[in-house]
Amino acid sequence: MGAVMDCEAFDGVELVELQQIETEGGSVLHMLRSDSPLFRKFGEVYFSEVYSGVVKAWKRHKEMTQHFAVPVGKIRVVLFDDREGSKTRGKVCEYVLGRPDNYALLRIPPMLWYGFKCISESPAIVANCTDLPHVPAESERALPDDPQFFYDWDEVGK
């Protein structure tokens, strides 16, 4: 596995704790507001279900910024930076997202490779609020075991 760095310094990525309001009938979970410093514009919101132990990787968007939150289950998000001129080029970064302990919004800028693995026993739901509508030609994909990423998904969640 490649060197996993301090994610606080990962170029262009932001992680913000999200509010969870506990109520008698169930929690209210905030995600993204138009007055947030992370919000630029609305593209679309979609949900990605991922089963326990399943990896969805690798992908990057050429222009789209993404905002992930995980209201159900838990995932490990892995980022790989191969952007020209980035101070974190060649580095890997990991985040755990999910409730109750890691309910947060993860901002992933364009041209950053990412993938995730469900590390909870039950399926996870990833909510993604993007700043552009999804267009297949705007993104690139690679296989989870592609050696350019220096990452071993089998080690995740152990």
Q: What distance lies between CA 155 and its chain's CA centroid?
A: 18
Does 146 reside within a domain?
yes
Q: How many domains does the chain have?
A: 1
Domain span at 59: 7-155
**Does 1 fall in a domain?**
no
80 lies in a domain?
Answer: yes
Return the pLDDT at 4.
Answer: 47
Residue 2 lies in a domain: no
Domain harbouring 131, CATH code:
2.60.120.10
Assigned domain for 105 exists: yes
User: Residue 7 corresponds to which tokens in the numbers above?
Assistant: 């994610």
**Residue by residue, what is the 3-state secondary structure of the chain?**
CCCECCHHHCCCCEEEECCEECCCCCCEECCCCCCCCCCCCCCEEEEEEECCCCEEEEEEECCCCEEEEEEECEEEEEEECCCCCCCCCCCEEEEEEECCCECEEEEECCCCEEEEEECCCCCEEEEEEECCCCCHHHEEECCCCCHHHCCCHHHCCC
| pLDDT at residue 6, as a whole number | 59
Over the chain (158 residues), the average pLDDT of each successive run of 10 is 58 90 92 88 95 97 97 96 92 92 95 97 97 95 93 74
pLDDT on residue 154:
87
- Burial letters 23-33, b for 16+ CB under 10 A, else e: eeeeeebebbe
Give domain status of residue 94, yes or no: yes
Query: Which CA distances in Å does 139 have to 59, 61, 121?
Result: 7, 4, 30
Phi–psi pair at 59, nearest 5 degrees: -150, 150
What the block records as the tokens of 30 is: 């905030």
